[in-house]
Amino acid sequence: MTQVAGHQGKTRDLLAGFAGELIGPDHPGYGRARTLFNGMFDRRPALIARCTGPADVQAALAYARSRGLVVAVRGGGHSFPGYSSCDGGIVIDTSPMKRADIDVAGRTGRFGAGLTWGELDAATQAHGLAVTGGRVSHTGVAGFTLASGSGWLERKYGTAAESLLAAQIVTADGRVLRASTSKHAELLWGLKGGGGNFGVVTELEFRLHPVGPVIFGGMIMHPRAAAKQLGRLYRDFIEQAPDELSGGFALFTAPSKEFVPRQVRGKPACGLTIFSAGDPAEGEKAFRPLLHWGQPWVRRAGPMPYTEMQRLIDPEHPWGISVYAKNDYLHQLPGQAIDTMIDAFRAPRSPFTHLYLCPLGGALARSDRSAMAQSLPGAPWTYYLLAQWWDPAVASPEIAWARRFMDTMRQWSVDKAPANFIAADEGTGRLRSSYGNQTFDRLVALKNNYDPGNVFALNPNIPPSPTPTR
């Protein structure tokens, strides 16, 4: 038996065979192990089970069942609504699972569910390969892939879920399954967008794509006064651009960073992130109309390693900051929508709040939507509003403002979002509308099959059908 120190103040036995690390409240590493990316949440689980593989997950689930504990699943700890932990329950932490086996000739790879995108990118870029990954490098690979999957490469190669070939998963009743197109195909379909509703994913197999290792990318920063012109310029440019070109338009406060001129730090700003997945020289040539427009405060663009591009906005999203996220797809982006967005962004109180307006299209417009549960409505644009703060005093007004912002943009919205960006306060209704009734009902059927007791409820939850009463 493995002994657990600090579970409700006593020493308890976990099922035999657990090879990982068990961390309770009395463990010296408990404070660090329980922290999440989103500082809004200060969860205190009874036990954190840092699992090394599926056998550890099986043991941890059996322990949770035997004691009636709430179960949270953690990979990168990046869940915006704080689903990566819980109070008084057990956290099944897959972060020790760092396997990265790459078939260079076949352009595929098998990866442990505990990898972050920074770690996966480092492994694949050693061979000039990549898969669409998170725009913040400390995001976990598994949670991102299962319920979002949007990154700089999506216009070229689609979302991460579109490149998911197979997944190993431990179900609520302890079965270890490998879902692929040849076996448990319906489960694989559900994992491509259905989040953590069906079990604990321990390994993912991706199709990899040629990228880099050097790409053309970077950012340009302008004063906020240029935003309405810049927004239109970027819209007109990127809507005619080839699939290799991506990036986004952003509204933010100029940070106090070394590369930002001292006299503009803390002032309202706007800018562009630029990215080319193709030849760096061709990328530089293509982006010249944007690079040489106006009088930017900052111009930091050029050939760079793809791994550097993947870390570009990390400093704006540090671990532990409080975040309230909103996301929506836009069915069109007329000038009025751009102006409304910019005018509405004048209200946030926190200088750490960001808005990213990202182009879709390209490979996303050609996606086989029947092959995955993920909602891809065919819209040309999406925005990510990340209300962020360190000062708790601004939390309530910042959240209220973010909700009003979303309402302001609703006339151009298709009212859909990836599951990871649906806030807990939006409820099942937004989740159903994002998937659509047919897909949602199909996901409920999967939930009934693999998790009828809703053991995995801490996620953008798809509730199982109610058990008939007699």
**Domains of the chain and any CATH numbers:** 2-93 (3.30.43.10), 100-210 (3.30.465.10), 214-423 (3.40.462.20)
In whole angstroms, what is the distance from residue 37 CA to residue 32 CA?
A: 11
Give residue-wise pLDDT tens across range 327-376. 999 999 999 999 999 999 987 789 999 999 999 999 999 988 889 998 78
pLDDT value at residue 469: 44
Angle, helices 227-238/335-344, rounded to nearest 10 degrees: 140
Residue 226 identity (one-letter amino acid):
A
Q: Is the pTM of this model over 0.85?
A: yes
Closest by alpha carbon to 429, among 462, 403, 405? 462
Mean pLDDT (the chain) is 94
- pLDDT band, very low/low/confident/very high, at 380 (cuts 50, 70, 90): very high
Asked if residue 13 has pLDDT above 70, the reply is no
How high is the pLDDT of residue 16? Answer: 66
Q: Over the stretch 405-461, which tens digit does the pLDDT of each residue have?
A: 999 999 999 988 888 888 788 878 889 999 999 999 999 999 999 999 999 999 999
- Residue 281 CA to residue 87 CA, distance in Å, equals 52
Mean pLDDT of all residues in 132-138: 97
- Alpha helices by DSSP H, 93-200: 117-125, 141-147, 154-157, 185-191
d(CA 205, CA 178): 10
Listed in sequence order, the residues at least 6 apart from 191 whose beta carbon sits closer than 8 Å to its beta carbon are: 146, 161, 164, 167, 169, 179, 198, 201, 373
Could you give the count of Cα atoms lying within 13 Å of 469 in the half-sphere of its Cβ? 0
467: confidence class by pLDDT, cuts 50, 70, 90: confident
Bridge partners of residue 326, in order along the sequence: 385
Number of neighbours of residue 63 by Cβ within 10 angstroms: 24
Is the bond into 54 cis (omega within 30 degrees of 0)? no
